[in-house]
C-alpha cells in the first residue's frame, strides 16, 4: 500500500512536490493560503497536520495543479464519479487533447447507441447485466473533457472558474441548473 500513489498517506509529500515544482517556497505558499506561516506549510508537508479536502484543494489551486484537485476528490471520495486523476503530461498539448476528445466522443456515441438498444430490450421482470463496457466508454468523456479544459488553461489562458461561472449563469437561465431551495420547496 505504501507504493500506491493514490493513498492519503502520500498526499503530504505530493503537496511538497507540487509546491516546489511550481516554484513556491513555503513562505510564499503560506501567504497564498491566507496568511499561513512557513512552519504551518512545513507541518503540512511533513504529515503533522491532519489534511482535509478544503486545505488540499486551496493548495493545489494556488499551484494551478488541476489534476491534483481531481486527486483530492478521488482520495476523499467527494463525488461518486471521482476517479484516478489524469496524468498531467497528457494535458500539455491542447491539439492532442482536442483530438482525444473527438475520439472519445465518437466512441461514446457508439456506446450510447448500444446502451439505448440494451435499454429498449429491457422488459419488466427480465433482468440483465448492465453493459459496463458501453457505460465505461461514456464515462471516458469525463477525463477527456478535463484533459481538454486543463490543456486550454495551461496553453491558452482559459480561466476555468470563469468558464464554470458562465456555464452556471446559462444553466440557471435555461432551467438546467438545480433550482434554488425556495423554488424546490414551492414545488
pTM: predicted TM-score of the whole model, two decimal places: 0.84
Who contacts 61 (Cβ-Cβ below 8 Å, separation ≥6)? 69
Who contacts 29 (Cβ-Cβ below 8 Å, separation ≥6)? 19, 36, 41, 59, 62, 63
Residue pair 163/149 in contact by the 8 Å Cβ criterion: yes
22-77 pLDDT tens trace: 999 999 999 999 999 999 999 999 999 999 999 999 999 999 999 999 999 999 99
Examine the pLDDT at 183 and tell me if it is beyond 70.
no
Looking at residue 182, what is its pLDDT? 59
Question: What is the length of the chain?
Answer: 187
Q: Give the 3-state secondary structure of residue 81.
A: coil
Nearest-angstrom CA–CA distance, 21 and 33: 17
Nearest-angstrom CA–CA distance, 155 and 62: 17
CATH number, domain 8-75: 1.10.260.40
Who contacts 159 (Cβ-Cβ below 8 Å, separation ≥6)? 153
Examine the pLDDT at 187 and tell me if it is beyond 60.
no
104-149 pLDDT tens trace: 999 999 999 999 999 998 877 777 889 999 999 999 999 999 999 9
Res. 4 pLDDT band, cuts 50 70 90: low
Amino acid at each position: 500500500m505504501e507504493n500506491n500513489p493514490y493513498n492519503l498517506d502520500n498526499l503530504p509529500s505530493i503537496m511538497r512536490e507540487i509546491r516546489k515544482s511550481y516554484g513556491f517556497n513555503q513562505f510564499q505558499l503560506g501567504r497564498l493560503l491566507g496568511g499561513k506561516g512557513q512552519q504551518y506549510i512545513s507541518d503540512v508537508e511533513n504529515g503533522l497536520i491532519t489534511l482535509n479536502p478544503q486545505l488540499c484543494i486551496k493548495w493545489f489551486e494556488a499551484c494551478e495543479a488541476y489534476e491534483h484537485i481531481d486527486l483530492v476528490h478521488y482520495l476523499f471520495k467527494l463525488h461518486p464519479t471521482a476517479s484516478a486523476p489524469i496524468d498531467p503530461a497528457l494535458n500539455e498539448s491542447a491539439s492532442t487533447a482536442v483530438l482525444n476528445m473527438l475520439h472519445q466522443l465518437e466512441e461514446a456515441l457508439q456506446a450510447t447507441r448500444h446502451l439505448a438498444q440494451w435499454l429498449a430490450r429491457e422488459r419488466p421482470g427480465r433482468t440483465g447485466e448492465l453493459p459496463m463496457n458501453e457505460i465505461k466508454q461514456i464515462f471516458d468523456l469525463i477525463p477527456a473533457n478535463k484533459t481538454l479544459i486543463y490543456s486550454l488553461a495551461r496553453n491558452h489562458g482559459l480561466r476555468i472558474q470563469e468558464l464554470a461561472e458562465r456555464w452556471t449563469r446559462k444553466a440557471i437561465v435555461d432551467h438546467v441548473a438545480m433550482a434554488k431551495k425556495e423554488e424546490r420547496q414551492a414545488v
